[in-house]
A = this chain, B = another copy of it.
Amino acid sequence: MPNDETEANLNRPLTLRDVSAASGVSEMTVSRVLRGRGDVSATTRAKVMEAARTLGYVPNKIAGALASQRVNLVAVIIPSLKNLVFPEVMSGISEVLDETALQPVVGVTNYEPEREEKVLYEMISWRPSGIIIAGLEHSDASRAMLKAAGIPIVEIMDSDGDPIDAVVGISHRRAGREMARAIVEAGYRKIGFLGTKMPLDFRARKRFEGFTEALAKAGLEVHDQEFYEGGSALLKGREMTETILNRSPDLDFLYYSNDMIAAGGLLHCLDNGIDVPGRLGLAGFNGVDLLDGLPVRLATMDACRAEIGQEAARIVARRASGTAGGGERVVLTPKLQLGETLKRR
């Protein structure tokens, strides 16, 4: 049974032409109406809107983008979605872009440079209005693509290194140094480090470097260390803590490369009646709000995730709106939260 003409299921996407035919208005004017451009009479506008709505027309952005040479997408390239940190950055980005015509599109690299290259290539081939990318370390090929893209590039989360264009982040080296200082000042001396077995997590590495550097200044060094990969971070935190304490029972402080494993360590200590922070101090990194629910507030350092996302998005938005710019540099200061797992002086 053939359908009524105006509702015919043509099994092909509708085009401007269809709306034009249905409304008796030229394609060009239909286009104007649909894009909300002025200079269209109210009558014409009404006719067009009516036709578009009853047909269920959805514009083809591909054609629009090709013709206008404008794409309202912002590529956001991050290592992972499973680490809560990145969704938080995403929220900051979305929040700001929601007020603009721009839209974030996420690409995930799994901390693999080859994947980063591939994802970047794919993204750039859609000619986005800007790229927000985690970290300052990229392969030569990636850097070349980013430089050649001719669009705003904002590298985020880290400020220790040479940005390609703009950068928004914190200094992880400094974060490590400050935590080390706080630990030493509190009187701890036998310090252990627990982290991920991820040579490509440059930010964690920089924190570690800053940490050891500041310890060295105090005449100390990392007494023992332990690394993990994969699995539930909370569980790994428990296990690693047990392992390292068995091996080096004289440790009096454990610095973890993230809050999740630190929380696992804390649970281990609570379970085993280890006096925290008296006998053993603990600290993590990130300030994830999961920590609010733990029995004891963990010492950590807030990495300003949402703020980083917001600032990065603002830079892209500003540039997309034509306001000149380039090479913006926003360095945020991570806030030390002593919690209850680090002795007070």
A interface residues, Cβ below 8 angstroms from B: 11-13, 56, 58-63, 65-66, 71, 81-82, 84, 87-88, 90-91, 94, 103, 105-106, 108, 121-122, 124-127, 144-145, 148-150, 231-238, 263-264, 267, 270-271, 289-295
Q: Contacts A82-B87, A232-B292 hold; do A11 and B150 have CB atoms under 8 A apart? A: yes
CA distance A234 to B270 in the complex (A): 17
* Chain B: minimal CB distance from A277 (Å): 18
Q: Is the CB of A292 within 8 A of B234?
A: yes
Q: Which one of B65, B124, B231, B295 lies within 8 Å of A58 (CB-CB)?
A: B124
Nearest-CB residue, chain B, relative to A57: B148
State how many angstroms separate the Cβ of A145 from the closest Cβ of chain B: 7
Q: Contacts A81-B90, A127-B62 given: A267-B289 contact, CB under 8 Å?
A: no
**Is A267 in contact with B238, judged by CB distance below 8 angstroms?**
no
- Chain B positions within 8 Å of A149 at CB level: 13, 58
* Also in contact, A105 and B108, with CB within 8 A (given A13-B127, A267-B294): no
Q: Are A293 and B125 closer than 8 Å at their CB atoms?
A: no
* Chain B residues in 8 Å Cβ range of A87: 81-82, 87
User: Copies of this chain, how many?
Assistant: 2
Question: 10 tightest A-B contacts by CB?
Answer: A234-B293, A235-B293, A81-B87, A232-B292, A232-B289, A235-B292, A61-B125, A56-B148, A264-B293, A62-B65
Nearest CB in chain B: distance from A112 CB, A: 12
The answer to whether A144 touches B292 (Cβ under 8 A) is: no
Taking the closest CB of chain B, its distance from the CB of A100, in whole angstroms, is: 13
| Min C-beta distance of A302 to chain B, whole Å | 14
Pairs across A and B, CB under 8 Å, 29 listed: A12-B150, A13-B150, A56-B148, A58-B125, A58-B148, A58-B149, A60-B125, A61-B125, A61-B127, A62-B66, A62-B71, A62-B126, A63-B66, A81-B87, A84-B84, A90-B108, A94-B108, A105-B106, A231-B292, A232-B290, A232-B292, A232-B293, A233-B293, A234-B292, A235-B289, A235-B292, A237-B293, A267-B293, A267-B294
Q: Kindly state the separation between the CA atoms of A307 and B155 in the bound complex, as whole angstroms.
A: 34
Q: Kindly report which residue of chain B lies nearest to residue A88, judged by CB atoms.
A: B82
What residues of B have a CB within 8 angstroms of the CB of A270 in the complex? 295
Question: In the complex, what distance in Å separates the CA atom of A235 from the CA atom of B288?
Answer: 12
**In the complex, what residue of chain B is closest to A14 when comparing beta carbons?**
B148
